[in-house]
Every structure is written in C-alpha cells, then in structure tokens.
A and B are shown apart, each in its own frame.
Chain A
Amino acid sequence: GIQVEQSPPDLILQEGANSTLRCNFSDSVNNLQWFHQNPWGQLINLFYIPSGTKQNGRLSATTVATERYSLLYISSSQTTDSGVYFCAVVRGNTPLVFGKGTRLSVIA
C-alpha cells in the first residue's frame, strides 16, 4: 500500500520562529489533508490540498503532486501551535492513510 513519511519526527521551536514540515508519499494520490492534533487529542483539519498552494493565516501548505510531497509552513509560531501534525492521503479506494506525524513543541 501507499507509504507516507513525515519529517522531522520531532521539532522544538522558540515562540515566533518559522518552520517547515514535510510529507512524502510513495504513489499518486487523489486526496491529501494536513491535520493538527492538539494536546487534548482533537484532530483539526488544516488543509485539504491534493495539489497547489493554500494559505490560512499563519499557516500555508503546498503540494507538488508530480514529485509526491507536501509541505506545511508555520510562520511566527505560537505556543498554541504545539501538538502533532499529521499528513494523510487517499489513493484510489484506499482508506485515508496517515503518516506518523511531526510532534511540535513551541516554547515561550
């Protein structure tokens, strides 16, 4: 089945810093989503982005489908950005397949 790899696995940032999270996938996909799982376990949709670029406030995402990767940019990070960021993809009729996530800690 399709493989999803996220990097880095862990990231510690000073408040105000910028960061880039990466998601590589092993085959073409027809759905890609980024989620943020907050410390209480809630999975929050960030972007539905099978291709192209989207921005939402301090967050933006770019997916280059032909090269099988997606990037999530976090600018001017805040402590509330802490948590785990998951990339998940769908290929054909497979279920949504998740990467192992990037655990982000933003310190004041």
Chain B
Amino acid sequence: GAGVSQSPSNKVTEKGKDVELRCDPISGHTALYWYRQSLGQGLEFLIYFQGNSAPDKSGLPSDRFSAERTGGSVSTLTIQRTQQEDSAVYLCASSYSGQGAFIGSGNTIYFGEGSWLTVV
C-alpha cells in the first residue's frame, strides 16, 4: 500500500482481555518495527522484524506481549491479559532495509497512524 496501515485505529478493552493489533507495512519493506507511546511520553521500542524473524525483542515489556510476522508482510502484536498500564498508542513502522544497514535514503523509517489502546 501507499503507507503503513494499522488496525484497529482505536480499541477499548476490559482489563484481563486479550487484544490483537495489526500492521500492514509499505509494500517491499523488509524491516518492521513496533513502538509504544504512552500519553505525553516519548516512543518506547518494543520489537523489530527483518523478514519474518525477530532479531531484536529486547523491548517487549513482559511475557504478556508477543508479536509475529508472516509472509514477510503483515505483523500482529498480541497483548494477553491486558492491564491498565498497557493503555497507549501502539505505533508500527517499516523500512526498506533493517536497522544498522546504511544504504542511504533506503533506510528511512515510515510510521503508521497508530492503534490507540485503552484498557478500562
């Protein structure tokens, strides 16, 4: 597609329920990133995919968080047994090549509009 697409754009869920957030990266982009932004805060890195593998999972805050990517394209971020502190905007981004590879403007990272999650 023309840009990074995320769904749902807004999700309100009850504490303890599971949620799935979806990201459809820019066509042809091999690298995909998930970030989280709490209200008024900066961006917190969660996980990075190169193709279907996740070389960097260092940011996942707990074992309730998991992510997968299939076919080198769509990714799903799953939060199990949601807690109120999980409320945030979850931002997905993609780039042509993975982090650390310096290939000029091909490394520009583009963000989607985010999925706003509210746990009540």
Contacts and interface: CB of A to CB of B under 8 A. Distances in A.
B89 to A, nearest CB: 6
Contacts of A92: 100
Which label, helix, strand, loop or mixed, suits the secondary structure of the A interface?
loop
A106 to B, nearest CB: 19
B108 A99 contact: no
Nearest to A37: B37
B99 A93 contact: yes
Interface in B36-73: 37, 42-43, 45, 48, 55-56, 58-59
B19 interface: no
A35 B2 CA distance: 19
Given A86-B43, A98-B43, A48 B108 contact: yes
Contacts of B37: 41
Contacts of B111: 35, 42-43, 45
A37 to B, nearest CB: 9
Contacts of A57: none
Contact of A94 (B43, B89, B99): B99
A35 B59 CA distance: 21
Nearest to A91: B100
A30 B116 CA distance: 31
Interface string A75-104: 000000000001010101111111111000
Interface of B: 33, 37, 42-43, 45, 48, 55-56, 58-59, 89, 91, 93, 99-100, 102, 105, 107-111, 113-114, 116
Closest 10 A/B residue pairs (Cβ): A43-B111, A93-B100, A95-B45, A48-B108, A30-B102, A98-B43, A100-B42, A92-B100, A98-B42, A90-B99
